[in-house]
Amino acid sequence: MSREKVKQVIVEYYTFSLSGESKKSTFDLISDLIVDKKSYQEKRDNSFGLRDVRASRSGNIINGVFAKYRKNNLPKIGAVGADGERPIDLSPDEALLEKNHFLIVRNRNLIVYQKNGNGSAAEYLAEHLTNLIRQEGMENLLSFSPVPDYGDFIEILSRGQPKRIEFKLARPSSAVIGKAADDLNGAVAKLFAGTDGLNLRCALTPDRHQVLNKRGVLALFKSLFSGGNTVVAAKAVMLDDDGHYRHPVNLITKTITDVIEVKMDGRYPDQEDIQSKLLGAYDGRRELFQEILAS
Same domain, 132 and 11: yes
Cα gap 177→163, rounded to integer Å: 31
Range of the domain at 30: 6-146+256-292
State pLDDT tens for residues 44-79. 778 999 999 999 999 999 999 999 998 877 888 888
Cα gap 115→101, rounded to integer Å: 8
Cα gap 119→99, rounded to integer Å: 6
Same domain, 100 and 192: no
Nearest to 99 by CA among 262, 267, 258, 280: 267
Report strand pairing: 161-170 vs 142-146: unpaired
Enumerate residues 6+ apart whose C-beta is below 8 A from 160: 238, 239, 240, 241, 246
Give the Å distances, CA to CA, from 179 to 175, 176, 188, 200, 275: 6, 5, 12, 19, 33
Question: Residue type for 45, please?
Answer: D
Quote the number of domains for the chain.
Answer: 2
pLDDT along the chain (295 residues), means of 10: 83 88 87 92 86 94 95 83 84 89 92 95 94 90 86 78 87 65 72 78 87 85 74 83 76 90 93 97 92 70
Same domain, 141 and 281: yes
Same domain, 139 and 279: yes
Check residue 181 and give its pLDDT.
61
Residue 15's beta-bridge partner residues? 110, 145
Same domain, 36 and 83: yes
Check residue 69 and give its pLDDT.
92
CB 47 within 8 A of CB 69: yes
Check residue 56 and give its pLDDT.
94
State pLDDT tens for residues 91-135. 888 888 999 999 999 988 899 999 999 899 999 999 999 999 999
Same domain, 187 and 281: no
Same domain, 215 and 134: no
DSSP 236-248: EEEE-TTS-EEEE
Residue 1 included in any domain:
no
Same domain, 134 and 267: yes
Same domain, 156 and 30: no
